Amino acid sequence: MATGRQIWHRHFDSTLANPGGTSDTLCPGGQTAVPTMAQISPGKYTIYAVSWDGRLRQVNLADGQDIAPPQKFIPGGGKPYALNLHDGVVYTATAQGCGGLTNAFYSFDLASNRASAFIPAGGGLWGRRGAAIDPEGRVFLGTGDAPFDPLNRRLGNGIVAVKLDAKKQLQLVDYFGAPNANWLWRRDLDVNTTPMAFDAKGSRFLVGTSKECRLWLLDRDALGGEDHRTTLHTTPLICNDAQAFDAKGIWGALGAWQDGNGTQWVLAPFWGPVSKTFKAPIEHARPTGGGVAAFTLQQRPEGWQLTPAWLSRDMDLADEAVIANGVVFAYAAGEDASQTMPDKAWNEPGGPVYGGGLSSGPVRRVPASRRAALYALDGQTGKELWSSGRAIESWNHFSGLTVANGRVYLATFDGVLYCFGIPQ
What pLDDT, on a 0 to 100 scale, did the predictor assign at position 348?
A: 86
CA distances (Å), origin 87, targets 90, 131, 196: 9, 14, 19
Q: Let me know whether 170 and 124 are in one domain.
A: yes
**Which residues 6+ apart lie within 8 Å of 421 measured at CB?**
406, 407, 408
pTM of the model: 0.94
What pLDDT, on a 0 to 100 scale, did the predictor assign at position 359?
A: 84
pLDDT classification of 20: cutoffs 50, 70, 90:
low
Question: Residue 409 domain-assigned?
Answer: yes
Q: Let me know whether 152 and 80 are in one domain.
A: yes
pLDDT classification of 1: cutoffs 50, 70, 90:
low
Please report, rounded to a whole number, the percentage of residues in the chain having pLDDT higher than 90.
Answer: 78
Last residue of a domain, one of 197, 231, 265: 231
CA distances (Å), origin 157, targets 127, 130, 190: 12, 16, 6
Domain total in the chain? 2
Mean pLDDT score, 185-200: 95
Question: Residue 399 domain-assigned?
Answer: yes
- Helix or strand holding residue 59 (H, E): strand 55-60
CB 109 within 8 A of CB 89: yes
Q: Per-residue pLDDT for 400 more than 90?
A: no
| Nearest residue to 36 (alpha-carbon basis) of 91, 87, 110, 78 | 91
Q: Which CATH number characterizes residue 246's domain?
A: 2.40.10.480
Q: Let me know whether 68 and 138 are in one domain.
A: yes
Question: Residue 356 domain-assigned?
Answer: no
Residue 397 vs residue 122, higher pLDDT = 397
User: Rounded to 5, what percent of the chain is helix, strand, coil?
Assistant: 5, 40, 55
Q: Per-residue pLDDT for 69 more than 90?
A: yes
What pLDDT, on a 0 to 100 scale, did the predictor assign at position 23?
A: 66
Mean pLDDT score, 317-329: 96
Q: Let me know whether 203 and 295 are in one domain.
A: no
Question: Residue 17 domain-assigned?
Answer: yes
CB 331 within 8 A of CB 401: yes
Residue 422 vs residue 163, higher pLDDT = 163
Q: Let me know whether 82 and 205 are in one domain.
A: yes
Mean pLDDT score, 322-337: 96
**Which residues 6+ apart lie within 8 Å of 18 measured at CB?**
none
Q: Let me know whether 307 and 191 are in one domain.
A: no
CB 266 within 8 A of CB 297: yes
What pLDDT, on a 0 to 100 scale, did the predictor assign at position 325?
A: 94
Q: How many CB atoms lie within 10 A of CB 415?
A: 7
Question: Residue 315 domain-assigned?
Answer: yes
Q: Let me know whether 286 and 151 are in one domain.
A: no
Q: Per-residue pLDDT for 12 more than 70?
A: yes
For residues 189 and 144, give the distance between their C-alpha atoms in angstroms, rounded to a whole number: 8
Q: Let me know whether 99 and 161 are in one domain.
A: yes
Average pLDDT, the chain: 93
Q: Let me know whether 161 and 255 are in one domain.
A: no
Q: In what order do the strands lie in the sheet with 255-258?
A: 255-258, 264-271, 290-300, 303-311, 282-283
Q: Let me know whether 254 and 398 are in one domain.
A: yes
CB 52 within 8 A of CB 19: yes
Last residue of a domain, one of 210, 231, 252: 231
Question: Residue 363 domain-assigned?
Answer: no
Q: Is 404 left (phi over 0), alpha (psi -120 to 50) or beta?
A: beta
- Helix or strand holding residue 362 (H, E): helix 362-368
Q: Which CATH number characterizes residue 121's domain?
A: 2.140.10.10
Last residue of a domain, one of 231, 248, 281: 231
Residue 333 CA to chain centroid, in angstroms? 13
Which sign, positive or negative, has the C-alpha torsion 80, 82, 85, 91?
Answer: negative
pLDDT classification of 240: cutoffs 50, 70, 90:
very high
What pLDDT, on a 0 to 100 scale, did the predictor assign at position 360?
A: 81
Question: Residue 343 domain-assigned?
Answer: no
Residue 232 vs residue 342, higher pLDDT = 232
Q: What are phi and psi of 384, to 5 degrees?
A: -70, 125
Structural domain containing residue 144:
1-231
Question: Residue 205 domain-assigned?
Answer: yes
Q: Per-residue pLDDT for 4 more than 90?
A: no
Q: Let me know whether 214 and 300 are in one domain.
A: no
SS3 99: helix
Q: What are phi and psi of 407, to 5 degrees?
A: -130, 155
Q: Let me know whether 182 and 280 are in one domain.
A: no
Q: Per-residue pLDDT for 424 more than 70?
A: no
Q: Per-residue pLDDT for 389 more than 70?
A: yes
Residue 80 half-sphere exposure toward CB, CA atoms < 13 A = 31
SS3 195: coil
SS3 421: strand
